[in-house]
Amino acid sequence: MAVTTWNSQNARALNMRYNDLITGKAPKEVLEGFAKIKVIATETSLGSRTSFMLYEVADENLIAATAVSMYFQEVCEQVTYPVISFEDYMKVRKILPPEKFPKPESPWKA
């Protein structure tokens, strides 16, 4: 998931970059990287100048897809949160069940 924020000073420049992306005028590497991203959902709040995008990128396409973020880095702030499905989380729990975790040390309470 990516959270994108911008301010009033760079809103026009961000809009122009997105326009170039969707009209095919962005650099070839950006277009190719974007083609490797499976967008699941996008929500935008213009009032708070924030956009949320839930997407998937195969591991082998991660480098190419990162070109898209680089293209936007001058005109907005992007924070990416890697997330996994609940099914994958349950697989991780089988590999490392909570019972194997060490007990927290003070000042943390269990």
pLDDT tens-place string over residues 12-29: 999 999 999 999 999 999
Q: Which domain holds residue 9?
A: 2-100
Number of domains in the chain: 1
pLDDT digits (tens, 9 = 90+) for 27-48: 999 999 999 999 999 999 999 9
Q: pLDDT-derived band of residue 104, with 50, 70 and 90 as boundaries?
A: confident
DSSP classification of residue 68: H
Q: Is residue 40 part of a domain?
A: yes
Classify residue 32 by burial, with Cβ atoms within 10 Å: 0-12, 13-18, 19+.
Answer: middle
Q: How far apart are CA 68 and CA 29, in angstroms?
A: 8
55 belongs to a structural domain: yes
Which amino acid, 13?
Answer: A
Tell me whether residue 12 is in a domain: yes
Strand boundaries in the chain, DSSP class E: 2-5, 38-45, 50-56, 77-80
- pLDDT tens-digit map of 48-85: 999 999 999 998 998 999 999 999 999 999 999 888 88
Residue 71 lies in a domain: yes
109 pLDDT band (50/70/90 cuts)? low
The predicted pLDDT at position 110 comes to 56
Q: Which DSSP helix (H) or strand (E) runs through 71?
A: helix 62-72
- Provide the 3-class DSSP secondary structure of residue 54: strand
Given this model, what pLDDT does residue 85 score? 84
Q: According to the model, what pLDDT value does residue 11 have? A: 95
Q: Is residue 56 part of a domain?
A: yes
Looking up residue 14, the CATH number of its domain turns out to be 3.30.70
Which distant-in-sequence residues (6+ apart) come within 8 Å of 54 by Cβ? 1, 39, 40, 41, 42, 83
Residue 108 inside a domain? The answer is: no
The answer to whether residue 110 sits within a structural domain is no
